Structure 1
């Protein structure tokens, strides 16, 4: 797969990986989508696990996303796709998503990536506001993790 079909955001979070991972997994609904939207996220974080997310907009919008977790390595990486529903039923694929964590001293480098099947899908994702949306998600994750680190 060519990197030219990938979009990504990265952020250095002022908290160690264990804190970032705990917030990532235990407070997912709080960081998963940009406010004023809210999310209900139900992930079975294991290879083959179900990924089910509903995002609710401020004007009654509802965006449902169902998929499969392809890989889940605690404290390191989660890979998911919307190419299949929970029972391995194919559906119109949009992305393979990656959430990755890497230690940088006592901080964590978070990277969110979306890999697309086609240039058209990548362009659609850019037009939907990928950079702003996934950037805001990274910011919200960082704020929660940095607050949790300070409270520890």
Structure 2
């Protein structure tokens, strides 16, 4: 773990395949804590692939986050960054997102890490409500994964 990491870790009472499916295929359903919404959540899950998220706030805020996928280990790990846009175009970096999924008995250990370049960026992200926001997102992700699992999906 880096000194500039913020981490959310949850044990989810649903199999890892369902959490992976929820994360990779149902982003708009879990990506933002209310009252924000994410109508566009797209990941080209291969190294060098595009990541794109559009978030809409309750007062009409419209935020687009683009980046690049750095690493994918099917069912286990996804790493993205906003330091580059598609085509390796440099951008002002804020973080690297590392999302990990591991078997935990009949459930899943889910870990989401936001790795920042500087202590200032880490502090800014923490002040923005990282722990509450990413914690709520993890709850929403688990709920979507449970629906998928119970509905006969993953």
TM-score by length of 2: 0.94
- Alpha-carbon separation, structure 1, partners of 2:34 and 2:25: 18
CA contact (8 A) 1:13 1:146 kept: no
The residue that corresponds to 1:33 in the other structure is 32
Which runs of no fewer than 5 residues in structure 1 stay unpaired? Answer: none
TM-score by length of 1: 0.96
CA distance in 2, matches of 1:43, 1:26: 9
Give unmatched runs, 5+ long, in structure 2. none
Distance (whole Å) between structure 2 residues aligned to residue 127 and residue 23 of structure 1: 28
Where in structure 2 are the equivalents of 1:1-80 lying within 5 Å? 3-39=2-38, 40-80=40-80
What is the aligned residue count? Answer: 151
Q: What root-mean-square deviation, in Å, do the aligned CA atoms of Structure 1 and Structure 2 show?
A: 1.0
- What displacement does 1:26 show? 1.3
Q: Which moved more, 1:36-45 or 1:75-84?
A: 36-45
Tell me the alpha carbon deviations over residues 5-50 of structure 1, each in whole angstroms, 9 at most, x when there is no partner. 0000011111111111111111111111112211111110110000
CA distance in 2, matches of 1:62, 1:29: 15
With 132-141 and 19-28 compared, the bigger mean Cα shift is at: 19-28
For 1:30, what is the secondary structure of its paired residue? Answer: helix
Equivalent in the alignment of 2:145? 145
C-alpha distance after superposition, 1:56-105 (max 9, x if no partner): 01110111111000001121010000000101111100000011100011
- Please tell me whether the aligned partners of residues 32 and 137 of structure 1 are also in contact (alpha carbons under 8 angstroms): yes
